[in-house]
Amino acid sequence: MWRVLFTLFCVMSGVLAQTAPGSVELRRANSLRYAEENGQRVQELTGDVLIVKDSLNITCDQALYYPDSGQLIFRNNVQFQDGQRLLFANEVLYSDWTEELEARGDVRIYQDTITIYCDRALYRERLGSGYLYDRVRVRYEPRGVILNGGIGYFDHKQKSAWVARSPVLTREDSSGVINTRIVGDTITYSEAERQATTIGHVKIVRDSLTAYGSLLEFFTDSLFAALTGDPLALSGADSIGGDSMRLYFHKEQLERVEVEGDAVATSPADSLPGSPRHVLTGQQMTLWIEQSILARALVEGTATATYYVRDRDDAQGLNVTSGDELTIGFDNRRISRIRVEGGTQGKYTPESLLAPPVPPQQP
Q: What angle do CA 255, 260, 263 make, to 5 degrees?
A: 85
Write down the pLDDT at residue 40.
87
Give me the pLDDT at residue 324, please: 92
Mean pLDDT, contiguous 10-residue spans, the chain (363 residues):
39 43 81 89 95 92 93 96 93 92 97 96 84 98 93 95 98 86 97 95 92 96 91 90 94 89 88 80 94 89 84 69 90 81 64 49 51
CATH architecture of 110-221: Sandwich (2.60)
pLDDT at 363: 46
16-23: long-range contacts, CB 8 A cutoff, minimum separation 24 = 22/53, 22/54, 23/53, 23/96
- The domain limits of the chain are 110-221, 231-355
Cα torsion angle, 66, 71, 76, 78, sign:
positive
Whether 264 contacts 284, CB under 8 Å? no
Supply the pTM of this predicted model: 0.84
* 3-state DSSP helix/strand/coil % of the chain, to nearest 5: 5, 70, 25
Predicted pLDDT of residue 269: 76
Q: Which tens digits make up the pLDDT trace of 68-110?
A: 999 999 999 999 998 889 999 999 999 988 889 999 999 999 9
Distances (CA, A) of 83 to 57, 58, 73, 141, 251: 9, 12, 21, 20, 38
How far apart are alpha carbons 146 and 141 in whole angstroms? 8
What is the structure's pLDDT at 222?
78
What pLDDT does residue 244 have?
97
Residue 302 CA: distances (Å) to CA of 13, 240, 338: 84, 17, 15
The C-alpha R_g of the chain, in whole angstroms, comes to 32
CATH class of 231-355: mainly beta
Q: Do domains 110-221 and 231-355 have the same CATH topology?
A: yes
The confidence score (pLDDT) of residue 250 equals 86
Q: What is the pLDDT of residues 232-275, one digit of tens each?
A: 999 888 899 999 999 999 877 889 999 999 999 998 877 777 77
CA-to-CA separations, 15 to 23, 42, 45, in angstroms, rounded = 11, 13, 13
Q: Which helix (H) or strand (E) holds 9?
A: helix 2-17
